[in-house]
Structure formats: structure tokens, C-alpha cells
Structure 1
């Protein structure tokens, strides 16, 4: 039994306070707003969370623990496969990123790390719903790039960047359409439909 249980509530007890006590101290992290955005598709959130924490299993990681004998990138073969390389330095990822930025009407400034890129993306829109949608696109992009990497590893093929970007936009628009309610303005609905149509 956790210490403090018997002495904590000698006079009164509430479930809310008991639950907070059980959880213990937790620290707030700035990236939680985009990783655990309610608009996100859950599997996209999990991969974005692992990427943010640096916990995705790349070849560099596997090489470090002695599982593989080579740590070069599966998709380009030019550099060591790290999380930074997978999402920000590889030519394939940069092509996908530029195409997504074009669709969102964002300036395609180079991303240096996943923990800073979401801040740049969320500054574009003042509207909360548009900002949340933009962050969903980032989580979907991270997920799809990771899927393309896994496809290169397991199936020995790489989807074209255009196909990956279409998959991102299709999944995001379908997800966000499910969340539209009466609070959405007509302008926000039109923006989402325009986003779905842009090629």
C-alpha cells in the first residue's frame, strides 16, 4: 500500500482527491497539446509520442544494442538512420514536408526537430479548430513517414511522396469531418473542404 494512505483522509475523502493522490506528481510537457490533440487519430498520436520521446526503434538504435550490423538509412542509404534523419534530414521526408506545407499554405521552413516543428505549425492559424487540424496533419505526417520507412524495411518498396501526402490529407480530412459540430462556422467547414480538394 502506498505510504500516506491511512493518514491522508482521516476526516473526509473524495474520489477526485484519491485519484490525484494515486497518480502522484506529474510534469507538464509542452508537446502534449499536439501529440494528444483530440482531433488526432489515436495510432498517429502513439507514433508521434514515441518520436517526440526518441523511442522509435531505428537502425541506429538497433545497431547500438547489437541487433543489426548496419545502421545506414533504409530509404536513402546515405546517413545513419536516426529519428532526426528519418523525419527531418532525409530527402524523401523533406519532399513530403514541402508538399504538406504547400497544401496548408505554410512556409516550408526547414524543420530541425519534432519538438520545435509543432510550434511553428501551430502559429500559422489563429482559429483554434484550424490550428488543431494543422497539428493533426503533422501527427499524420510523422505516422505516414514512419509507415513508409517500415514499408521500405519489410516490403522493400517506398511509396511516392505524392501518395504519402494524399494519404495524410485523406485521413486527416476524414477524421476532422467526424468532429464537425454546430460550433463550426461555415468558413471553417469551407476551409476543411478546400483542404481536402487541394492537390
Structure 2
């Protein structure tokens, strides 16, 4: 109750003369939240992560990663929830977000298979945001990146809970199929027929 009263007193400062802050006639939760939090810039990667080309659960995992919210073994070990911080997939280094998605031997093998069928080097979100390059290809590359992150996290959890994991080439094949299914779905979304412009702009369909 005391905490609620403190918030009430703070909110009062934004409500004067029967009007909620300048330019707002009524109160909404979003207005109140923005007023309390103050101005904050939108992250440049958010539009890449949440575009409608992505599979929603893939976007969610990428969003959690960008906010450093995954419960990796390093984090769990620091909290006392596991005996060691070793990566479950390679058992060679501490399992941090950077290690799991960039440096882990298992993940790097998956990336090499992806690079082989995509016929290009793996990109980061910062590179995907570059205005240079074919827009459709950049969309697909960002789709691949979010699918990769989701897939690695999924198989990491499988290794932890089920004590088994597929070979990297099979994981990469699953990822490729997910991406291709999504591309075909988006290509047919408009009129039920494959959009040849989308297909032509992607050399690894």
C-alpha cells in the first residue's frame, strides 16, 4: 500500500488543471509510463528484430539476447543454480551469450554450413541495418540470423534437458528448412502466387 501511495504522489505531478501533462487531455497507462520513465531512444536493432518477416518466437529470442536476458550457465552459476559455467554444447569455455552464439565450436560449425548454402559470410544485426545491398536479401539475411539464434538456443536447451543434441549439419538443415518455409509463405502472402521478385532476389532458395 505504501508503494502504491508513493506512485500516486509521483503521478499527481503530471496532472494539473484537470489535464494530464501537456498535449494530453486524458490519462492512459502508456502516457503515464512514458512520463515516469522520461525520454529514451529506440534501439536501432528493434525494427530488424521485430519485422513481420520474422517468425515471432525467433524474434522474441533475439530480443532477449539483445537485452542480455538469456539464462546462460554463466549467469546461473553466478546465482548458484548450477555447479559450473561450462558451455553445454562444447564444454570448453564459460557459456556466455557471446560465446554461445559467436565462439562456441558447435555454433561455429552450424554457421559454416549456413554460410555454405547462403553463399555469403554470416552477418550481424549492425551489418544488416546497412543501407547498402539488396533490401530483399537483407530481409532474408536478418530472417536467417534470428532463426540461427533461436535454433542454437533450442538445441542448447535440448542438450541440457534431454542430454542429447543433433550434429551441426542436421541443425543447419533444420534451420534452412525453417527459413525456406517462411520465405515461401511470405512470397505467397499477397495473392496466393509465388512472388518472382522475391525468388529472383534470393540466390539460395
TM-score range, shorter chain: 0.7 to 0.9
Normalising by structure 2, what TM-score?
0.77
Point out where structure 2 has 5 or more consecutive residues left out of the alignment: 1-7
The whole-number CA distance in structure 2 between the counterparts of 1:189 and 1:6 is: 57
**Over aligned residues, Cα RMSD in angstroms?**
2.9
Single out whichever of 168-177 and 65-74 deviates more from structure 2.
168-177
Q: Whose relative contact order is higher, 1 or 2, with alpha carbons under 8 Å and at least 6 apart?
A: 1
User: What SS class does the counterpart of residue 65 from structure 2 fall into?
Assistant: helix
State the partner residue of 2:102.
88
Single out whichever of 58-67 and 98-107 deviates more from structure 2.
98-107
Give the number of aligned pairs: 186
User: What SS class does the counterpart of residue 179 from structure 1 fall into?
Assistant: helix
Is the aligned partner of 1:107 residue 2:121? yes
Structure of greater Rg: 2
User: What SS class does the counterpart of residue 204 from structure 2 fall into?
Assistant: helix
State the partner residue of 2:59.
45
- Distance 1:75-1:6 versus aligned 2 partners, 3 A rule: same
Normalising by structure 1, what TM-score?
0.79
Point out where structure 1 has 5 or more consecutive residues left out of the alignment: 112-116
State the partner residue of 1:150.
157
Single out whichever of 99-108 and 162-171 deviates more from structure 2.
99-108
Is the aligned partner of 1:188 residue 2:188? no
State the partner residue of 1:176.
183
User: Which of 58, 65, 69 is the aligned partner of 2:79?
Assistant: 65
